[in-house]
Amino acid sequence: MAIDKNMQILIVDDYKTMLRIVRNLLKQLGFENVDEATDGSAALQKLREKSYGLVISDWNMEPMTGLQLLREVRSDDELKEMPFIMVTAESKSENVVAAKEAGVSNYIVKPFNAETLKSKISSVLGDF
């Protein structure tokens, strides 16, 4: 099934530079409808107000981490099917296991490029 490039994507990161990088990579891939949140609680609020096709969230954020956000999303009946990609600078296996146990759709280790992002999105949503 082809991906709808007009779908809304929410990127969550407390680091503005990273938000800009991910937004630019998504734009390179043809995704224009991108919203941003700078922490997990702001992201949750946006997710409950608007319909998104994908969440791309950083792991390390304060006060709510990406893992806590993922757990909140998975425990919410309205949001639990939401495709969720976690971005982390650490490839520690316990992090990967924790994210998988929490129901992450996929994860990306920083640094990454448009090709990596495309393959991760494809693995979660289908080819484009």
pLDDT tens sequence across 34-75? 999 999 999 999 999 999 999 999 999 999 999 999 999 999
Sketch out the chain's domains with CATH numbers: 9-125 (3.40.50.2300)
How far is 13 from 35, CA to CA, in rounded Å?
Answer: 11
Residue 127 has pLDDT above 90, yes or no: no
What are the structure tokens assigned to 26, written together? 């998504």
Q: What is the pLDDT of residue 1?
A: 58
pLDDT tens-digit series, residues 73-122: 999 999 999 999 999 988 788 988 999 999 999 999 999 999 999 999 99
Burial class (CB in 10 A: 0-12, 13-18, 19+), 63: exposed
Burial 94-115 (b: 16+ CB within 10 A, else e): ebbebbeebebbbbbbeeeeee
Strand pairing category for 54-58 and 106-109? unpaired
Residue 29 has pLDDT above 80, yes or no: yes
